[in-house]
């Protein structure tokens, strides 16, 4: 069995550190790892796979030695600059940023949903937005069976999705409340503690935010439904980790509720938690640290002929970023071993 060489770019960041953790938990046929980051983080030592790794500075020559794969988690600007360099030297890049997601020549992949797209890469594969990933895992089996007509997204997104400074704003907000202090905000325009901010990423001319636009366009691309009617409202909430989503779906065809739930239960890495008598439904605290997507509060939307409401929760740093990227590399390994 061939062993591969894998680079982790942005290894010291929130997602990068989680990528390392996920790699330790999974048995990939990788014999050599190289950890890369910015000049600021270069030289740091990270304990990984039972030994200490010195983080190397990312530069134009980082991929000269030859890599099979690289996972990029260092932001869009870094990906735009260095991903093409890596790809030009035979390295297949799995990119966590938004830099290439809507490029028609770059596959946008969630392995449970559209693994066949992996083979269509030209050196770069895009990891979708965290909120999109968990949504399409729940929506794909329903679209296959009943054909989705329209989607309404309402998200409740954790501060970890905004990086370390987002987490600090919530931590400091709680401290300010308890100690009557005033710590300047690092990330958000308003306090996130005891607040909900209907504002993720920048506003566009049409009144939507970039995050909402990402969910709409990425869902269409992944489901291969370019004309699918979708609207979205994305909200940052005072939760440390795991995104929650209320998804209203209208179908072209009628459905039996038991059959619909059974369809969800049989889909890979999708766990149904739906028992109102026992007050069982997905929670952010329970999803954190897990790789699966959880769905519950499944009920018919009685305001339209063929509609259903879903509550979908997942760890946005793991399945929403790190784990999905590692899964893509796993698929690449399997493909290259054929």
Give catalytic residue positions.
Answer: 130, 243
What is the separation of C-alpha 144 from the centre of its chain, rounded to a whole number of angstroms?
22
- Written as six digits, the tokens of 129 are 């937005």
Strands of the sheet containing 4-9, edge to edge, are: 56-57, 30-37, 4-9, 69-72, 92-95, 124-126
Residue listed under structure tokens 């970039």: 210
205 phi and psi angles, rounded to 5 deg: -65, -25
- Written as six digits, the tokens of 71 are 């996972």
Measure the CA–CA gap between 154 and 297, rounded to whole angstroms: 14
Max Cα–Cα distance, the chain, nearest Å: 62
155 phi and psi angles, rounded to 5 deg: -110, 155
Q: How many CB atoms are located within 10 Å of the residue 25 CB?
A: 10
What is the separation of C-alpha 33 from the centre of its chain, rounded to a whole number of angstroms?
23
- Given a contact cutoff of 8 angstroms between Cβ atoms, the answer to whether 108 and 124 are in contact is no
> By C-alpha distance, which of 113, 25, 19 is closest to 323?
19
Q: What is the DSSP string of 88-139?
A: HTTPEEEE-SSSSTT-TTS-B--TTT-GGGGGG-SSEEEPPPHHHHHHHHHH
Residue 85 vs residues 62, 72, 220, 223: alpha-carbon distances, Å: 9, 12, 29, 30
């Amino acid at each position: 069995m061939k062993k591969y060489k894998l680079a982790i770019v942005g290894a010291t960041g929130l997602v990068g550190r989680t990528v390392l953790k996920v790699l330790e938990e999974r048995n990939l046929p990788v014999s050599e790892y190289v950890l890369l980051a910015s000049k600021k983080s270069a030289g740091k030592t990270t304990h990984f796979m039972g030994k200490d790794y010195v983080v190397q500075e990312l530069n134009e020559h980082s991929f000269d030695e030859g890599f099979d794969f690289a996972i990029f988690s260092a932001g869009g600007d870094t990906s735009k600059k260095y991903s093409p360099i890596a790809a030009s030297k035979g390295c297949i890049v799995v990119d966590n940023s938004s830099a290439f997601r809507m490029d028609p020549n770059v596959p946008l992949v969630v392995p449970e949903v559209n693994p066949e797209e992996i083979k269509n890469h030209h050196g770069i594969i895009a990891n979708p937005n965290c909120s999109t990933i968990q949504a399409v895992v729940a929506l794909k089996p329903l679209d296959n069976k009943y054909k989705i007509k329209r989607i309404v997204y309402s998200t409740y997104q954790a501060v970890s999705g905004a990086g370390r400074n987002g987490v600090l704003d919530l931590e400091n907000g709680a401290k300010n409340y308890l100690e009557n202090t005033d710590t300047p905000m690092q990330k958000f325009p308003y306090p996130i503690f005891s607040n909900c901010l209907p504002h993720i990423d920048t506003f566009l001319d049409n009144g939507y935010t970039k995050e909402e636009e990402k969910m709409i366009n990425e869902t269409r691309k992944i489901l291969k439904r370019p004309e699918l009617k979708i609207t979205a409202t994305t909200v940052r909430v005072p939760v440390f980790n795991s995104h929650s989503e209320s998804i209203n779906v209208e179908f072209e065809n009628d459905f039996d509720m038991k059959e619909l739930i059974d369809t969800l239960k049989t889909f890979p890495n999708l766990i149904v938690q739906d028992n109102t008598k026992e007050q069982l439904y997905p929670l952010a605290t329970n999803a954190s640290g897990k790789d699966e997507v959880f769905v519950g509060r499944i009920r018919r939307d009685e305001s339209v002929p063929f509609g259903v409401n879903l509550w979908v929760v997942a760890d946005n740093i793991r399945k929403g970023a790190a784990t999905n990227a590692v899964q893509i590399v796993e698929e690449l390994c399997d493909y290259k071993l054929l």
